[in-house]
Every structure is written in C-alpha cells, then in structure tokens.
Structure 1
Amino acid sequence: MTQYDPPRPTATTVDGTGGTREQQPLPPVRPTVAPPRHEPEPDAPAELAADATLAPSEVSRLVGGWHHNPHGILGAHPVPQGTAVRVLRPFAERVVLETEGPDGGSFELTHQQDGLFTALLPEQDLPGYRLRVNYAGSEVLQDDGYRMLPTLGETDLHLIGEGRHEELWNVLGSHVRTVGGVRGTAFAVWAPNASGVRVIADFNGWNGAAHPMRSLGGSGVWELFVPGIGEGAHYKYEIATRDGRMLQKADPLARATEVPPATASVVHTSSYAWQDQAWLDKRARATHHDSPMSVYEIHLASWRPGLTYRELAVELPAYVRDLGFTHVELMPVMEHPFGGSWGYQVSGFYAPTSRMGGPDDFKFLVDALHRAGIGVIVDWVPAHFPKDDFALARFDGLPLYEPADPLRAEHPDWGTLEFDYGRAEVRNFLVANAVFWCHEYHVDGLRVDAVASMLYLDYSREGDAWSPNAGGGRENWDAVRFLQEMNATVYRRCPGVVTVAEESTAWPGVTKPTEHSGLGFGLKWNMGWMHDSLTYLAHEPVHRKFHHNEMTFSMVYAYSENYLLPISHDEVVHGKGALVSKMPGDWWQQRANVRAYLAFMWAHPGKNLIFMGTEFAQGAEWDHDTGPQWWVLGEDWPAAADHRGVQDLVRDLNRLYTDSPALWRRDTHPSGFSWIDGGAAEDNVFSFIRFDDTGRPLVCVTNLSPVVRTGYRVGLPTVHADVRDSVWLEVLNTDTAVYGGSGLGNPDPVKADPTPWNGRDTSAELTLPPLATIWLSPA
C-alpha cells in the first residue's frame, strides 16, 4: 500500500467579486497537551482511548440533519489529550485514518453511534490525512472535506449580506475546485431560516447523513466542500425547517439540471471556448436607438421540434440570416418544470433548460448566431416563480424569495409567487442573474416579462386583496428600485447589451435613464400600438374609416418612450388565432392585409418584432408541441406559393429596412417622422415620411381599402431645388405579384410636380394597389 502524502489544507481569500482565489497554507492542528506516544504494530491500527466521543444528543442532531456547525465537530480538532478526529460515514463497516509524514501511521476509528466514527490521535501536528473506508467489503480511499476552511471568504459574505455581490453565481451553487490540494466540489446555498442543511446526491445514495453543511454566521449561507466529486454529479439540498420538516430543494444557483420532469441539480463546469470576440467588440460600440433592429421571436423547443441546441445552431442562424432579421428573441430558456408554461414559470434561473442539451450546447448556439451576425435577446422572468415544492417556494420552510405578506406573495393571474424585491439577498439573486446571462452566455439583450405586474401592488387584484405601500399607494417602490438597479448594473457590466420592458401601462419613464429617475430600460414594447392596430385591422374595410385613429394614435405618444413594435407569441395563442386569421375577407384579402400591415409596421417609428410562423402567414395559431406549420411552404401544399410570397416580402422588408437609415437613424426623435396625411379616414389611407440624420426621406403610403386608387395625389417632401429633378422610385410594393399580390402599382419612376398638396409644395399622382403598402425613395 502506497502511503498517501496529502498537501496541507489551505485557507481561501477572495477578491470581492467571486474572482480568482489564492490558497494560503494553514497551520497544522496542534493539541495543547502532548499525550504519551503509542506506537502501533506494523500494518495494524493503533488502539486509542475513546475520549473523542460526543454526547448522544449531539450525535443525534448531527446525524439527523439539525446541526448548524458540523465542521466544529467533524474533522480533526485539538483536545487536551491530543487530536480528536471524528468522521461521519453512515453504512460504513470500518474507517481507518492514515496520516502523513515520517511519524505517520494508520489509526482505526471507533464507531460510536449512527455512523459517527471517532479516534484520539497522539499527534501534536496533523497536517493532513486520508480515510480508508470499508462498505460491505468494498474499500475506498477518501479525503475529509471537514478539515477544509470555507470556500467563501469574508468579503463574499459581506457582499451577499448587503445584496451587492454582482457575481453571485461564482460563490453560491456548486463549483468544482481544488481546495487544500484536493479536487472536489464546493456547495453553497442561502437558507437563513434553516435549522440544518445537507447535500443529498447520487454520490451518497440520496442520503445526506454523511454531508451536513455548516452555517456561515449571520449570512444565512450554508457551505460544504465534498472531495472527489466533480462534473456531472446530481444533487439537491435537504433542508431542516424550524417546524421539524425536511425539504428537498434544487439548487437555486445550479448551472445545470436534470431533464424534466426530473428535478435534481447537476454539477457543471464549462469547457466551452467562445469564438465571438469580434461580435462582442462590435456590440460594445453599438447604440441600439439609432441602429436597425428587426427581431424574430422563437420558442426554441418547438421551432423545429426535437432538435438539440447544437442541431439548432446549424439550421436557425442560416434561416434567420436568410430572412434578414438582425436579432432573435428566445422565449425563456431558463429551466422550467412544465413545458406548457413556455418557460415563463422558471425553476432554475441560472440553468438553460436541459431539454435540448447542456449549458455548453446552448453557448454553442449563441456563438453560432453571433458568427452569423445575429444578436440574441432572451426572455427573462423576474416577476414570478412557480410553487413547485422542489424549487424556490418557501425555500427554507418560510417565505424567503417571496414576501411574507400573502397579499403580496400570490400572483393571481398565473398561480405563482412573486419575488420579495425589498429583501437585499433576493434583489441580489435577480440582479446577478441578469448579469449572469449577459456575461456567461454572451446574450445581447434581456426582454423583461410582465413588468407591469411588478410595478403595481394591486395588479390583477380587486377590492381589499392587496396591501398598499407605506404611503397608502399602489406603486411597488421596492420593484422600482430593483428594476433600476438591474438596468444600471447590466449596462455598466455588459457594454452593448439592451434591456427591453414588456410594460403595458402608462408608467412614466420606463426607458428614461436611472440617473433621471427612470426605470432605465433601453426599449419598451409598444403594447398600445399592437392592440390598437390589430383592433383596426379586424374591422371590415367598409367600417375602418370609423376607427382610423386606432392606426394614427400611436404617433401621439411615439416619442414618450423608446419603443419596439411587437407582434409576439401572445397574439397568436389562446384562441386569438394566427395573424392572418385575424384579418377580414377571403384568403387573398387576408394575406393582402397581412402584407400591407407588415410593411406599415416596418416603416413606423420603433423597432420590429414578429413571432415565428408569422413570417410566412401560417393559418393556425401557434401550438407549442408542433411549432410552426412548415409544411405550408412545401410544393405539395396548394397555397404554398401564397405563404412563400409573404416570406419573400419579410425578407425584402428586412433588407430594405437595414439599408434605409431613414427607417431607424432617428427612431427616437420626432424629427425622424412627419405625417403626409394621417386623416384620410374616408379613403382608409395612411401616408407619412421617415427621415435619416441627413434629411433624406423615405415615403410610406398604405391603402387599407380593397379599392384600387389611381391618380391618388400625395404631397411629397422637396428633395431638389428644381422640382423637375424630383423623381421617386417605388422601392417596395406589397401588391407585387411575387408576394402573391395583383401586380398593380408604380413600376415606372414617379415625377413630382409643383402642385401643392397635403401642406407641401410638391406632390405626385400615385396608383395605390388594394390592401397594400408602397414605399417611395428619391431617385
């Protein structure tokens, strides 16, 4: 048998941000009184007194999982007679301790009670040892994690207590590390109300008796280093509550999880080598407000059902790039127990769902999108979390992540719980999570779900079913401060990232900088525009003149925030039907309405977003099990050409949009837009101009009547001193035959004349196709 020569245990110092740790040698354990030396027989364990034993009640607390400081008992500790060693190995038949050094030897530990083995060593110095443990005739050599110092430093604990640890994921959760020269996994979890915490895992047969964690003072953090455990281990935390229950909880900061419906956390160490530095450098110099942004929203699990992250990395970037979208927005990729929630009930905030692969596989997908020139926005859900027993709900037996007040804890709409934004550690958990996805997964944006439900204490609550704030109002000021801190931290830590709010009310300053008392988002979903425009389009054309303002009202407030125009998944589910099915008329008219609407949307101030399947006008609403109706694009589908025509239009819209600075350079400034005629209600016609930062215009005219309008005069901006030189080209026409239209329009250059019209000095007569939008650009 080769004598093991373990290195001396080491202390951990921390740089305050969860960064690199330096290892410092610890002094050896020194008993205060040297006992008489007992030399063991060769190859035989020493016979020792049993005065390293513990009171039976102490053993019961330890073995039962109710002890707050197992490291104060287990491991090696100086006592007047020498060094007491205590080892917890339930189910072991024999434990032998082997010490290092010239005077090292083997010492058999005595089983005291319930798997606790003890010995009194006559050593004054005990710099290192290993344990030889026999289980039913099988012998294993193990290190003792209870001789190690905590893997969290004082600075870490201080920052956690203050709620200011911006890299929380580097200190809590599970991490493969080398401590004291020993390779293993450090576990750490915040559970301040627990009476005891243990690690239960596949490596201990899901019996945590051998792995109780220690409480690190008033921080509420429990910690344990387990030697010999590495990548791929499955685990949970077993939490003893104050009222005598034992809970089994997944790790809130786990980097990986089992595939649902299994719920264990998985130890993960990334080995992925990113290849997108050029993208990140370019992103850091970008400004979103005056850059093109056309977003394709995707539910990854159903875009191409059955594909893994790595398989998606082959197909998705090619498809999105071909269609010309600048970004994808992924519905929540964080782990969630129920697929039918589409990811909006998150149980693993720090882990991408394992349904399609591991964390490095998801990184591969993001990297592939970046290398294709496509930005990645992910949906982020800090508004609520599910009540599943294994997750965050009453995590340590009492309300922890959720408010203690039941009128604030329960979310009435989704049967979920809300976060306690007033608690520093909870706020830290979420702020660090936002940074985590941008830092670790290189995502380019966070779309924050359900912001309105966070801002208002009475959201979806009627009568007395809500608790007012300290001033008696309905505003959730804790949520406001959290959102401000999240946005400020993300923008400071992650250059070039954009945050987007799904906020459906008139809360002021959603996209106003935090230094000016705003919430600090980069963009806000324009839910008002979406609702009004879809309501207008649902009317038969003959009735649309009575609802004309529903299409123009958005320009009254267009510059109150920085907007993104969303036709998202929410508009094509729950019986609402696909976009094309919302339109009146026959099949041709429905598609014509969609084409005209999309071109109107792309020209309207604000960024653009459509949900998958909308780009080819699929007829059925989205089903998360089957995904888009790709087969309607196939040759064997009778109307395939019609669907491909809409897809071709979207491709051309994105190309022209990206190539036309007038459509995005002054997106957030009133000087970038001017109505030509916003009041042509009788005609169902809308005409306006977009300008770039040089003043170069692009004209958009939309006819949402099924009537062809020939000789329709439109006022035009003056682009030349001599009006005879004012020639306009029709650069887009949604009625073009290739898109499935009737082929009417203005194929020849349009010459302006000095006839004043619509308050402008020059104008031209146009042919407006039925249910169509045309774009004109000066030649």
Structure 2
Amino acid sequence: MSTPSPAPLPVEQELLAAVAQGRHYAPHDVLGAHPHPDGTAVTYRVLRPLAGTVEVVRAGDGVRVELEHEHDGVFVGVAPIPAAAGVSAGDYRVHVAYPVGEDGALGDVEEQDDPYRHLPTVGELDLHLIAEGRHERLWEALGARVRRSDDGAAVGTSFAVWAPNARAVRVVGDHNGWSGRVQAMRSLGASGVWELFVPGVGHGTRYKYEILGVDGHWRQKADPLARWTEVPPATASRVWDSEYTFRDREWMQRRAQTDPHEQPLSVYEVHLGSWRPGLGYRELAEQLVEYVTWLGFTHVEFLPPAEHPFGGSWGYQVTGFYAPTSRFGTPDEFKHLVDALHAAGIGVIVDWVPAHFPKDEFALGRFDGSCVYEHPDPRRGEHPDWGTYVFDYGRPQVRNFLVANALYWLEEFHIDGLRVDAVASMLYLDYSRNEGEWEPNVHGGNHNLEAIAFLREVNTTAYRTHPGIHMIAEESTAFEGVSAPVDAGGLGFGKKWNMGWMHDTLAYLGEDPVNRSWHHGQWTFSMVYAYSENYVLPLSHDEVVHGKGSLLTKIPGDRSVQLATLRAYFAYMWAHPGKKLLFMGGEYAQPSEWSEGDGLDWGASWAPEHRGVQLTMRELNRQYGQTPALWSADHTPDGFTWLEKDAAQENLLAFVRHAAAGHDDGRDLVCLTHLSGVERQGYRLGVPSAGQWEIVLDTSDAALAGRAEDAAAQDALLAQRSMSTVTAEDTPWHGQDHSVVVNVPALTTLWLRPRCGTM
C-alpha cells in the first residue's frame, strides 16, 4: 500500500487571492518553495495565469512535480525533501505550456526560472544605511541592476525601490507584457524598500513600477533610480548594464591632487540640444571637443543633462535624476563624451537641480500615493513660481537620494563639478512667498534649516569622496558663507556665481557711452565685495532669453560699436578677479536671442567682425591659461590693486592683477578698460615696476576688430601682429612708483605685462 502524498501547506483564501492578483506585500511567503514543518516535504507554488500545464523540475536531483491549479493562476504541488546532499529544494525551474489556437491545444513547453525562488538582493547593511539616510552609493542598492543570482544559477535584473507607504508594488515591463500581477515585489520590513529579482531580464528592457497607494489606487511610476530611460516623450525606465571603460586615469589622478581654487577656470556653458541641433553624444565628442579645444576654455558646463520630459525646461525640471537624457544617446555614449573632453584636457561641470521636481504623473510626485519625496506641507513642498514640488530635505531617505545622486554623477560619469541650481530658493522658507504663505522655522526665522543641513552634507561628502572637484552655487542673495567651509559655519561650496557683478556690469554696458559716467559705480562696485565669497563671473543662458536679447544687442550703438564694446568687456571680465563662465554663442557675439528650439546662429560666426570676437575669446583663454596673475590669487585681496577706479567721466578703469607666491611666472598684469566713444592719446598709466612693458592684448587690434576681407586675411593679420612695447618712466602715477604713456582707442581693453627679464 503506497503512502499518500502529503497535502500542500495551507494558505488562507483571502491571502491566496491577494497573491494571485499581485497586491500582497509579501508574495514570497506564499510563492516559491516552502519546506513542511516536519521536514519530509516541500510545497511549491507558482503564479502562471492562463497556463495549461505547470510542472516544477528540481535542478539538483531531477525530481518533477506536476502542479495543480489552485486559484486564479496559482498552481501548487508537493515533492519530497531532497535526499541527496547538496541538493536545494529552492533550486528549481518551471516548465509551463499555454493554450494556443481556438481549440485550446497546448503549445510547446517553456522552461522558466521563477522570481520567487530567489533570496533578497538588498542586504541588511544596505537597508540599515537606507533607513539612516547614509547610503552614499544608493544606486548600487536601489534601481534596476543586471546581476547573477546568489546561487550563481541565473542572470537577471534585481529591482528595488523605496515606497514606504505603498500597499503593494509590482514590476511591469516588456518582459511580462506589462502585466503587473505576475511580478509583485516583496516589502523588506520597515525599511520601505520593495525588491524582486527577475531572472532573464537584461540590458535595455523597458519597465516601470506599479504601485498600490494608501488611497487604494494603482499608479505606474518610472524608477526614481533608473539609469536609463526611453527617449521623451516616452516615459518608461530602461535596464542599463554599462560596458564602458574610462580611459582618463591620468586626468582623474591629476585632478585629485589639484587645488581647484588656484587653477585657471574658464567655462563654456552649453545646452546640448541647441549647440548644433541633431548631434548626439558621439558627434558632440568630436565636434564640441574640437571647438572648445580651439577656443581654449578649460571646462564645459552642461545645462542639466539628467532626463527631463519637457525640452523647453532646458533640463531644469528633472524626472530622471540618475539618467543622462536619452535624447542624445545612451549613458555609455554620455561617458564617451566626458572621456573625450578629458582626453582633450577639458573638464566637465554639469548643472544639478536638487531644488525642485515637476509634478508629472509618471515621476516622483506623490510617488506611492503620499508625499514621499516632496514636503507634505504645501507651504514648504510646492514652488509657487515654477509649479513644481520641493524636496523634503528633513527626511533622511530623501536627503540620501539627493546626496547619492550628486556622488553618482561624480563617480559613474567622472564629472568634475556640479553647479547647483536655484540655491536661493532652497535657503529661504519665504522665497517667492507672500505673508501667510510660509511657515517660520523653529527659531522663528525664514531660513530652511533642513535644506541648509542638506547642502552642507552634500558639499562635505562630495569633496571628501572626490577631491579636486568644483561645487558651485547659483545663489542670488546676500546669504553669508555660501563658499565658506562648513566647519566655519558656511554652506561648504567651493564657489558661488557672482550674480551682482553680472547684473551691474550688463546694466552699465546698456547705457550709451555719454551716460555711463552717471553709472560708473555699477562698474566698480564688484570690488567692494569681491572677496566675500569665492566667485565665478557668469554670463549665463539666463541673460540671453525671454526677451532680454543677446549680449550684443544689450549694447547701444551701431554694430561696430556693439562689437568693440563686447570685445573690451570680455577682456575686462577675463582680467577681473573670479573664475569665468560664458554661455555658448556669446563667444562670437551671436546677434539673436538664444532659443533652445532653433540652435545657435553659426552663420554669424563666419562674418569677419563676429569672428573677431571669437578670436578675441580664443586669445583671452590662451593668455589666461598662461598667466598665473589672472587666476592664482582670485580669492584673496593680495591678487588685486586698483590703479584707476574713479575716472567716471572718461568711462575708464585700470587695475593690476598679481600672481600668488610660488609661480614660475609671477609677472603682474595690468588691465585698462576704456568704454568711451573717443580715443585718448598719451594716457599716463601707473605700473608696479620699471622696465619695458608689452601690450599683450589690444581688443581694437585690426585682426580682432574684423577689419579683414575674409577669415584667411584675418588669420594673416593675427600671424603678422607684433606686440607694442612701452618703457616705464620714473614718474609716480596711480599710486605706483612708475608709469607708462599709452594711446587708448575708444571702446578698448589693453593688457600690459612686464617684458620677460625686465621685472
């Protein structure tokens, strides 16, 4: 008489129904292999809706178990516990056949691995760090990661997502016909993390998470840590398995040993989609690299490259914080672009947007039906100007999401710096809010203490883990200590955009030369506060859009006056204390206002007079990089001396830049900028030393002014150019013991340096 097979382990009908429908928080408790308490048998349950036959085949001993349909696509069967040593009850495969055709005949048997036989892919240490908000490599725990299973028997993708208030979470995608019920994720305790390893899923698979919120509604959401996405307007996440190997070891080693404050920094700001429309990352790695190398900028800065659904936001409304936009190629192709820039000796800064995020239904907003990433109080959680959500900086996991995101760009893409957007909106609770629309902090003030703590943490962590990088704040107020160290009470940024300098000097340029004397203070005021922060002087994209016109058209007068003024202004800017940033198109004085939909007006750059501005910028960068006086002491008063700051009637100023101690070429550089419409003959200028002084730059030079028939003639003029030399006289002037006499053309900047060997 044969022994009857034991009955399957019982499961309550309500629980079985929830698992069958993919709405249970712990599907692994029911599905998979479950040994019986008496140690004699194991129950196998698998979920295969619409299957005709289902069989489990154990890998180690070949035991086969035909499963019976139990409830709504759940099949169950029992097998003896493996008798052979080393055979695991949990190492099995599912053989399934589905009905095909109208007569219900079964198709071929398919062998499938079962997600519910695998152990969690997020470890206890990961969960502990996530709960504390201290997981600096969060992207290695959450998101979609191609990997081999713990037993080594399967290759697939582990999915993990933080959704602390969800009732259930499912993976949907190409691999399961976007049917979420068959791949419900398990909740990993109180961590708020949901996880599932799906065998057979690999690189390129499109997916989302289907989340059952506390309100009882299902939502399809893109992965917050997706490292690749569909090309907008499509919104699915994609599994990414990088195959790229960087070739920039020397660059990275040199960067780590470099003090970024005492190096030249001239930045070419680029909107990837409109620099030359139609180019992808690979084409940019050739054309953009060649162009920036020719111009001589030390760095490029990309407007936010993270994925964003609306191109008109220029990237400032991010939905995929961990994914380079797919508009221009894959993440590995973006790496190739960075690598190519490094190979050319050009650093890469990206705009980073932790201040807010859009309300798109597929993205972070109300992620699990509740306020997960955004602050729950609308007075702190919504931005009135931009119609976006504001991050809850006081929540450890949200802070962790952002800190790790900063590190992700620095680590995975070898980015050399982050320019943090809209810092002012983060610092103040009453930013763009009227009385009654904001809530004071615990001290009764208007500072967002949680955001301040976050900024300090991200800066401290970024500099600790990636020495030599740049952390730059776009901050438009007088908040103290933006670029001061955290241990000195500052925010810990390395640099801050000098918005005041930009607005004041552009306003000065906007005046007719005959009226500029009344506005002279706008031109000189920047030196009153020049060393209150470590400044970058920006002429950014914000100044050439939305009806503001181009840099060129801000200047009154005919085209020749506009071009001459702009050349002189650029040379003044490159000599002024502070690092430099110029938005694309400005380098050749694009006449039209920038539009992200139209691209740059490259045709204008071919005209000799516009090419002259371009050549001026090239010459400025060349001399800037070779002249320590222009960058080695940017952030200390020791690097600057006024010669003439009160010549308002003459529309003229002059100053000396000094090199920091220890540089081989410690020669001073004298800058004289004259923005009057009349020439000044025989102008006496104080200089700090005797001997011969060379006029190393004259922005009215014929080649730079475009007084040539074509580019070839212009290049010939440049090649034939020789520097004028003047001899310092023992005539004290401008507070110096010596002086020179120079002729100063209208609307011109002159740079003078001691001739080598005459210091």
Asked if the contact 1:334/1:353 (under 8 Å) is kept, the reply is yes
1:197 and 2:176 are equivalent in the alignment: no
2:429 and 2:219 map into 1 onto residues whose CA distance is 30
The Cα of 1:593 is off from its aligned counterpart by 1.0
Q: Structure 1 pair 145/705, CA: closer, same or farther in 2 (3 Å)?
A: same
1:324 and 1:475 map into 2 onto residues whose CA distance is 41
2:65 to 107, 117, 139: 107
**What are the superposed Cα offsets for residues 381-405 of structure 1, whole Å, 9 maximum, x if unpaired?**
0000010000000101000100010
1:613 and 2:613 are equivalent in the alignment: no
1:304 and 2:304 are equivalent in the alignment: no
- Secondary structure in 2 matching 1:667: coil
The Cα of 1:135 is off from its aligned counterpart by 2.4
Q: Which amino acid aligns with 1:778?
A: P
1:334 and 1:101 map into 2 onto residues whose CA distance is 46
Counterpart position of 1:627: 599
1:164 and 2:134 are equivalent in the alignment: yes
Q: Structure 1 pair 705/235, CA: closer, same or farther in 2 (3 Å)?
A: same
Q: Which amino acid aligns with 1:642?
A: E
Counterpart position of 1:60: 17
Q: Normalising to structure 1: TM-score of the pair? A: 0.91
1:98 and 2:57 are equivalent in the alignment: yes
Asked if the contact 1:756/1:762 (under 8 Å) is kept, the reply is yes
1:665 and 2:632 are equivalent in the alignment: yes
Question: Aligned ranges for residues 641-652 of structure 1 at < 5 Å?
Answer: 641-652=608-619
Counterpart position of 2:208: 236
1:417 and 1:285 map into 2 onto residues whose CA distance is 39
**What are the superposed Cα offsets for residues 225-263 of structure 1, whole Å, 9 maximum, x if unpaired?**
111111111100000011110010000001100111111
The Cα of 1:91 is off from its aligned counterpart by 2.5
1:554 and 2:526 are equivalent in the alignment: yes
2:368 and 2:572 map into 1 onto residues whose CA distance is 53
Asked if the contact 1:52/1:86 (under 8 Å) is kept, the reply is no
1:74 to 6, 17, 31: 31
Asked if the contact 2:609/2:706 (under 8 Å) is kept, the reply is no
The Cα of 1:516 is off from its aligned counterpart by 1.5
2:503 and 2:96 map into 1 onto residues whose CA distance is 68
The Cα of 1:197 is off from its aligned counterpart by 0.4
1:528 to 473, 490, 500: 500
Asked if the contact 1:509/1:561 (under 8 Å) is kept, the reply is yes
1:355 and 1:410 map into 2 onto residues whose CA distance is 28
- Secondary structure in 2 matching 1:490: helix
1:739 and 2:710 are equivalent in the alignment: no
The Cα of 1:50 is off from its aligned counterpart by 5.8
**What are the superposed Cα offsets for residues 563-586 of structure 1, whole Å, 9 maximum, x if unpaired?**
000000000011101100100101
**What are the superposed Cα offsets for residues 156-188 of structure 1, whole Å, 9 maximum, x if unpaired?**
100000000000000100111111221111000
Which moves more between the two structures, 624-633 or 657-666? 624-633
- Secondary structure in 2 matching 1:470: coil
Asked if the contact 1:302/1:626 (under 8 Å) is kept, the reply is yes
Asked if the contact 2:608/2:706 (under 8 Å) is kept, the reply is no
- Secondary structure in 1 matching 2:361: coil
Corresponding pairs, count: 724
1:278 and 1:443 map into 2 onto residues whose CA distance is 14
The Cα of 1:82 is off from its aligned counterpart by 2.3
Q: Structure 1 pair 515/138, CA: closer, same or farther in 2 (3 Å)?
A: farther
1:278 and 2:250 are equivalent in the alignment: yes
1:583 and 2:555 are equivalent in the alignment: yes
Counterpart position of 2:641: 674
1:222 and 1:101 map into 2 onto residues whose CA distance is 30
1:150 to 111, 114, 120: 120
1:699 and 2:670 are equivalent in the alignment: yes
Which moves more between the two structures, 168-177 or 82-91? 82-91
1:149 and 1:746 map into 2 onto residues whose CA distance is 74
The Cα of 1:53 is off from its aligned counterpart by 5.4
**What are the superposed Cα offsets for residues 405-435 of structure 1, whole Å, 9 maximum, x if unpaired?**
0111111111111100000000000000000
1:303 and 1:158 map into 2 onto residues whose CA distance is 45
The Cα of 1:85 is off from its aligned counterpart by 1.0
Asked if the contact 2:608/2:707 (under 8 Å) is kept, the reply is no
- Secondary structure in 1 matching 2:109: strand
Q: Which amino acid aligns with 1:687?
A: A
The Cα of 1:628 is off from its aligned counterpart by 1.0
1:84 and 1:563 map into 2 onto residues whose CA distance is 68
Which moves more between the two structures, 330-339 or 141-150? 141-150
- Secondary structure in 1 matching 2:703: helix
Asked if the contact 2:508/2:523 (under 8 Å) is kept, the reply is yes
1:88 and 2:47 are equivalent in the alignment: yes
1:690 and 1:127 map into 2 onto residues whose CA distance is 73
1:541 and 1:746 map into 2 onto residues whose CA distance is 30
Which moves more between the two structures, 48-57 or 545-554? 48-57
1:566 and 1:304 map into 2 onto residues whose CA distance is 22
The Cα of 1:88 is off from its aligned counterpart by 1.0
1:188 and 1:138 map into 2 onto residues whose CA distance is 33
1:741 and 1:547 map into 2 onto residues whose CA distance is 30
The Cα of 1:513 is off from its aligned counterpart by 0.9
1:133 to 84, 96, 103: 96
The Cα of 1:326 is off from its aligned counterpart by 0.2
Asked if the contact 2:23/2:181 (under 8 Å) is kept, the reply is no
Asked if the contact 2:156/2:202 (under 8 Å) is kept, the reply is yes
Asked if the contact 1:53/1:112 (under 8 Å) is kept, the reply is no
Unaligned 5+ residue runs, structure 1?
Answer: 1-34, 39-47, 635-639, 721-725
Question: Aligned ranges for residues 85-484 of structure 1 at < 5 Å?
Answer: 85-102=44-61, 104-123=62-81, 126-136=89-99, 137-179=107-149, 180-181=151-152, 182-484=154-456
Q: Structure 1 pair 191/36, CA: closer, same or farther in 2 (3 Å)?
A: farther
**What are the superposed Cα offsets for residues 206-235 of structure 1, whole Å, 9 maximum, x if unpaired?**
011110000001100000011111111110
- Secondary structure in 2 matching 1:120: strand
Unaligned 5+ residue runs, structure 2?
Answer: 84-88, 100-106, 709-716
Asked if the contact 1:49/1:120 (under 8 Å) is kept, the reply is yes
Asked if the contact 1:452/1:503 (under 8 Å) is kept, the reply is yes
Asked if the contact 2:16/2:30 (under 8 Å) is kept, the reply is no
Asked if the contact 1:438/1:494 (under 8 Å) is kept, the reply is yes
The Cα of 1:482 is off from its aligned counterpart by 0.3
1:531 and 1:264 map into 2 onto residues whose CA distance is 41
2:139 and 2:365 map into 1 onto residues whose CA distance is 20
Q: Structure 1 pair 243/714, CA: closer, same or farther in 2 (3 Å)?
A: same
Q: Which amino acid aligns with 2:70?
A: Q
**What are the superposed Cα offsets for residues 323-342 of structure 1, whole Å, 9 maximum, x if unpaired?**
00000000000000111111
The Cα of 1:747 is off from its aligned counterpart by 5.6
Question: Aligned ranges for residues 705-716 of structure 1 at < 5 Å?
Answer: 705-716=676-687
Which moves more between the two structures, 124-133 or 528-537? 124-133
1:515 and 2:480 are equivalent in the alignment: no
Compute the RMSD of aligned alpha carbons.
1.7
1:473 and 1:334 map into 2 onto residues whose CA distance is 34
1:138 and 1:633 map into 2 onto residues whose CA distance is 65
Asked if the contact 1:329/1:378 (under 8 Å) is kept, the reply is yes
Asked if the contact 1:730/1:746 (under 8 Å) is kept, the reply is no
1:214 and 1:663 map into 2 onto residues whose CA distance is 59
2:550 and 2:202 map into 1 onto residues whose CA distance is 48
- Secondary structure in 2 matching 1:597: helix
- Secondary structure in 1 matching 2:547: coil
1:766 and 1:37 map into 2 onto residues whose CA distance is 112
Q: Which amino acid aligns with 1:686?
A: L
